[in-house]
Amino acid sequence: MPTTIINVSNRLPVTVGEQITKSSGGLVAALEGLSADDYNLKWFGWPGGAIVDAARQRKVQEILTEDHGCIPVFLSDDEVAGHYEGFSNSSLWPLLHYMANYMRYDPAWWDYYQTVNQRFADKVLQTAKPGDLVWVHDYQLMLVPAMLRERMPDLKIGFFLHTPFPSFEIFRCHPKRRELIAGMLGANLIGFHTFGYVRHFRSTVLRLLGLESEITRIRSYDGHTSVMGVFPIGINAAKFAEALDSPEFTKRRLELETSYAGKRVVLSVERMDYTKGILHRLDAIERFLEELEDRDSIKFVFVSVPSREEVEEYKELRAEMEARIGRINGQYSTLSSSPIRFIHASVNFTDLCALYSTADVGMVTPLIDGMNLVAKEYIACQRDRHGVLILSEFAGAAEELSNATLVNPYDAQAVAESLTAALAIPEEERRACNEPMRDRVMKYDAQHWARTFIEQLAGTVAGTVTMFDRPEKAAQLLSDAFSDSKRVALFLDYDGTLREIERDPRAAKPTPEVLQLLHLLDQHENIDVTIISGRTSADLEAWFGEHDIGLIAEHGAAARRAGTRAWEQLDRNISYRWKDEIRDVLRLYEQSTPGSFVEEKRTSLVWHHRKTDPEFGTWKAHELMHELGTMLVNEPVKIRHGRKIVEVTAEQVSKGGAVRRLLSQKPYDLVLCAGDDQTDESMFEIESPSFVSIKVGNEPSRAAYRLRDPAALRKFLVDALSAASPAAFEHEGTPAVA
Ligand code: GDG
């Protein structure tokens, strides 16, 4: 059975007008190149234009689906203006390209962006089945992965960003920065053109969301892992190869050669966009022309495809470009020729190939560009002429095309000199530079790109966390024990287990969901609940003092048994003299690491680095671990680098020890321990036939069962209670504790 690929991009590869016209961009070729034996492709996107009439929408949908495998997402004119022209192209596009001063923002655009992303997600969810691969494209749809994940947690979702991902310092300017990256993190696989963009994305996620990550993996709070990968997009190589062998191409090339006879041709092709460095290029051309003796010997051809003409900055760019070209042509024209030929239109594909192949120099100098396919297409078409590619260092393509003449587009003088030098490179040298680049461009083409992305996506572990043991088994054990009125002990860690983690630990007071769950458990006399935490007894007393439940504080150093009000110290015989020595060291780290602080508890000293720069904080934590390790070799302590903390604790105190002590005083038929942190592992070591251990979260653990997050644990407990006494729940309805 072929796997279904659901490809989701802002635009469908078809346009609906009087007739339906198919477009043939790189993405179409890339996906059509996937084998039909292995994959069945469905394409979701906007068909262009506003089709408002419901009957016409149905008709268009029917034709597109049946004849083209395309499922249209219809948008109104207002939605296109708010989502596409506004939020996507006037807000996100400039920022993703480091042009924060071009970024505009209107809160109404954000509403449109969310609505349209949700419409795309809903449309996909109407069709998607488990086992399908969903591939979402580009900056217009950054929220879609998380929207899909929320409703189908097991779906394999990929996201590819076709633009650069800028440095954190730039991306942080966006008013919706957190929402946007959280949306992308719904994907299992997030693809970028270069490793630089991966690095920036990771750094942004670490700093804005405070998540843990390795170089190419990020673990989200909801338990799934997003893998980041480098997938440099390629050109439609087969289409170019075919064109170069066609008689029309040969004819058009001959015509161009005749028309430009006696001149060296320098070609630029691009959408008219301020990222493409057009005005800076004109500066360089002016400097070049100033120095040129024979002005009839050169022709610059600019193919500038109209783009985003509704957006103000693009209108201004066009006006400025036209004025500058007019001035340059006025100043440097001779009686027989003018230096710049400016085509403000799209040329047909054969003409484009003929132009690429005729040009002595391809001048591709964007100020920044995700990849830039024009550079690769120019090389592909230089099969026998070996023209020179002048390429901006700031195009993603520069990583692969390192034999090109690489330039800094902001340095007009250097670009002008590179152009003079390029025109003088001997043929042998040009051939030697181009051949390896051409081999690469033709081999690692768009189809290769799509295949590698899809194969990697197919190989990722599906969204949900793999369970150690089926949680239904634990649920059954628990509900059986509840319904038989057996004596059950629940030892529940608090932060990250019973309740979601907060950035500020003081803000993590019990939510109504937690309190409602405790209230439900409280109604069963046979169930003893103990909250077991690393927090101080004062913290626990303040939040749970009024509840008749057991409390264990400071990882097992103090306990307040259910039914009593008094706290008992379990660590009376333990010495804490070692604290004096290390307190000073931790203070030094506090001083030298902005945002970090030292917390002193009865049984431990903790250095917190949650609020520091994540990379600096983690590095300092490693240094501190090393220093403490050598200082404290002979002391009865444990040193631990936990979640954004370095902690030194008395060796004899542990949660596991405290649980054992309570169990030795009162026997139970079933004991359940749940925790999310390393300190909880000492509870999971307890061995007993009637023992259920649950890890909350997706880190490695010795627990027998695993649940995704605190909400899943709360639901698990409520479900077990309701299975044991359905009547009580029928009466009250299922409580909203999750
Ligand atoms: C975005 C990213 C990334 C151009 N003029 C004509 C014409 N074209 C075709 C070219 C090329 C395509 O348009 C332009 O692609 P680029 O990659 O250069 O740039 P963007 O449009 O900005 O694309 C970019 C890309 O997505 C893919 O991920 O590389 O960085 O910004 O294929 O051939 N085609 C025809 N006539 C023209 O006049 N027929």
Residue 36 has pLDDT above 80, yes or no: no
Token digits of residue 325: 């070209």
Can you give the pLDDT at residue 505? Answer: 81
Can you give the pLDDT at residue 738? Answer: 54
Do 533 and 590 share a domain, yes or no? no
Query: pLDDT by residue (tens digit) across 144-181?
Result: 999 999 999 989 999 999 999 999 999 999 999 999 99
8 Å CB contact between 560 and 567: yes
Q: For position 515, which CATH number holds?
A: 3.40.50.1000
Number of domains the chain contains:
4
Ligand 1 pocket mutation pick from 374, 377, 441 by most atoms within 8 angstroms of CB: 374
Can you give the pLDDT at residue 25? Answer: 66
How confident is residue 736, by pLDDT bands cut at 50, 70 and 90?
low
Least-confidence region, from 59-63, 130-134, 188-192, 293-297: 59-63
Task: Decide which of 171, 206, 230 is a domain's last residue.
Answer: 230
Residue 731 has pLDDT above 80, yes or no: no
Nearest to residue 533, comparing CAs of 564, 512, 505?
505
At 711, the amino acid letter reads: A
Question: What is the rounded distance in angstroms from the CA atom of residue 728 to the CA atom of residue 689?
Answer: 30
Query: pLDDT by residue (tens digit) across 481-492?
Result: 888 889 999 999
Within-domain flag for 738:
no
Do 126 and 214 share a domain, yes or no? yes
Instruction: Work out the average pLDDT over 603-622.
Output: 93
Residue 442 has pLDDT above 80, yes or no: yes
- The residue contributing the CA closest to ligand 1 atom 19 is 372
Nearest to residue 135, comparing CAs of 209, 34, 49, 223?
34
DSSP at 465: P
Question: What is the rounded distance in angstroms from the CA atom of residue 320 to the CA atom of residue 372?
Answer: 23
Token digits of residue 342: 């400016």
Within-domain flag for 658:
yes
Nearest to residue 8, comparing CAs of 202, 144, 99, 103?
144
Do 567 and 589 share a domain, yes or no? no
- Residue 604 phi, psi dihedral angles, 5° rounding: -155, 165
- The residue contributing the CA closest to ligand 1 atom 33 is 374
Mean pLDDT of the chain: 92
Report the percent of the chain where pLDDT is more than 70: 96
Pairing mode of beta strands 597-600, 604-608: antiparallel
Least-confidence region, from 45-54, 329-338, 390-399, 489-498: 45-54
- 269: part of which helix (H) or strand (E)? strand 264-271
8 Å CB contact between 366 and 276: yes
372 CA distance to ligand 1 middle (Å)? 7
Do 309 and 429 share a domain, yes or no? yes
Can you give the pLDDT at residue 608? Answer: 95
Ligand 1 pocket mutation pick from 303, 372, 401 by most atoms within 8 angstroms of CB: 372
- The residue contributing the CA closest to ligand 1 atom 15 is 373
Which atom of ligand 1 is the closest one to the Cα of 193?
Answer: 28
Domain hosting 644: range is: 579-650
Which atom of ligand 1 is the closest one to the Cα of 26?
Answer: 32
How confident is residue 221, by pLDDT bands cut at 50, 70 and 90?
low
Do 437 and 491 share a domain, yes or no? no
8 Å CB contact between 7 and 160: no
477 CA distance to ligand 1 middle (Å)? 60
Q: For position 616, which CATH number holds?
A: 3.30.70.1020
Can you give the pLDDT at residue 464? Answer: 43
Question: What is the rounded distance in angstroms from the CA atom of residue 274 to the CA atom of residue 328?
Answer: 19
Residue 23 has pLDDT above 80, yes or no: no
- Which residues is 369 bridged to in the sheet? 395
Do 262 and 337 share a domain, yes or no? yes
Pairing mode of beta strands 225-230, 264-271: unpaired
Do 198 and 245 share a domain, yes or no? no
How confident is residue 19, by pLDDT bands cut at 50, 70 and 90?
confident
- 449: part of which helix (H) or strand (E)? helix 446-459
89 CA distance to ligand 1 middle (Å)? 16
| Ligand 1 shell residues, CB under 6 Å | 26, 162-163, 233, 269, 271, 303, 305, 346-347, 349, 352, 369-374, 377
Can you give the pLDDT at residue 223? Answer: 65
> Greater confidence, 336 or 734?
336
Residue 735 has pLDDT above 60, yes or no: no
Ligand 1 pocket mutation pick from 353, 373, 392, 441 by most atoms within 8 angstroms of CB: 373
User: 173-187: buried (b, 16+ CB within 10 Å) or exposed (e) per residue?
Assistant: ebebbeebbbbbbbb
Do 599 and 620 share a domain, yes or no? yes
717 CA distance to ligand 1 middle (Å)? 54
Within-domain flag for 255:
yes
182 CA distance to ligand 1 middle (Å)? 28
8 Å CB contact between 603 and 649: yes
Do 726 and 674 share a domain, yes or no? yes
Can you give the pLDDT at residue 463? Answer: 46
Within-domain flag for 267:
yes
Within-domain flag for 645:
yes
300 CA distance to ligand 1 middle (Å)? 19
Task: Decide which of 621, 650, 679 is a domain's last residue.
Answer: 650
588 CA distance to ligand 1 middle (Å)? 54
Within-domain flag for 462:
no
Within-domain flag for 458:
no
> Greater confidence, 26 or 290?
290
Helices (H), 575-704: 578-592, 614-631, 655-665, 681-684
> Greater confidence, 351 or 611?
351
Do 674 and 705 share a domain, yes or no? yes
Exactly one of 273, 493, 495, 528 is catalytic; which is it? 493
Residue with tokens 């279904």: 4
Nearest to residue 120, comparing CAs of 107, 137, 95, 96?
137
Can you give the pLDDT at residue 348? Answer: 94
C-alpha dist (Å) from residue 334 to 51, 302, 331, 340: 51, 19, 9, 12
Do 495 and 375 share a domain, yes or no? no
Which atom of ligand 1 is the closest one to the Cα of 396?
Answer: 30
25 CA distance to ligand 1 middle (Å)? 8
Instruction: Work out the average pLDDT over 540-553.
Output: 93
Can you give the pLDDT at residue 47? Answer: 92
Nearest to residue 198, comparing CAs of 437, 451, 26, 370?
370
> Greater confidence, 523 or 115?
115
Query: pLDDT by residue (tens digit) across 667-723?
Result: 999 999 999 988 899 999 998 878 999 999 877 788 999 898 999 999 999 999 888
Do 275 and 257 share a domain, yes or no? yes
Task: Decide which of 211, 230, 249 is a domain's last residue.
Answer: 230
Q: For position 221, which CATH number holds?
A: 3.40.50.2000
Within-domain flag for 128:
yes
165 CA distance to ligand 1 middle (Å)? 18
Query: pLDDT by residue (tens digit) across 458-508?
Result: 988 654 444 466 778 888 989 898 888 899 999 999 999 999 988 788 889
How confident is residue 22, by pLDDT bands cut at 50, 70 and 90?
confident
User: Is 439 tagged catalytic?
Assistant: no
Question: What is the rounded distance in angstroms from the CA atom of residue 614 to the CA atom of residue 211?
Answer: 9
